Structure 1
Amino acid sequence: MKKEAKVVDAEIVETSGKAAAIPANQIIDLSRALPDGRTSLVLDFDKVTGYTLLRCEKEAKKDDASIVVPALSQVYQAHVAAIAADVKYDDILALSAKDFTAVMIKTQGFLLGTGSQGQVD
């Protein structure tokens, strides 16, 4: 039985000198620009490694020592999102509530494996 690849809306994004297709569901259009002028965030979870996640957990626990399940903590999610979007942690925290919530939902989906990452079934 042959598997068919799903077609995913994608945008070509320049990353580290090479073009990469980022699924449209990983791009967040912001209601107001970041301090650097960007009006959207690209959550490139492919650049997140186990080392990244452990470093983010360590940083998150400095901010909130009561974290039990990191993937459910918005502090932890914000650290991971900052790495994935290549912005400062404070830039994530300074997003409008609507934008912050959208970023947290995408990040939590990635962390829990419930988000659509453009994978082939």
Structure 2
Amino acid sequence: MKYIDRSGDTWEDSTSGTVRIVVMGGNPVTQAESWPREIAEEKWGPFRPVTAGEPQDDACDELPRVTDVMDRATVFQSAHALVAGLEWGEEKPSVYDVLQVAKWLEGDA
């Protein structure tokens, strides 16, 4: 059986009473240590079972997506304002770096 933890990663039953992570951050995991289910769920849970046909690496349904709140132009303008408006020192990130982080946080990366 497969489970999804609170951050959207996918776990599956490994051996009796243990689970291992199989998808982390939308990427398959080929080598992972097995954990007792109770410990894994205490640390990364709660686990919810994956139902048939459910996408395993989608963002959490309870949270709004960026595109639900802002249009693409507003997202780009906000990222540009963040990069231009803060003191970054010698290496200033690009607007695209900020957009990639936002996309990763949303779960689309």
Structure number having the greater helix percentage: 1
**Largest Rg, 1 or 2:** 2
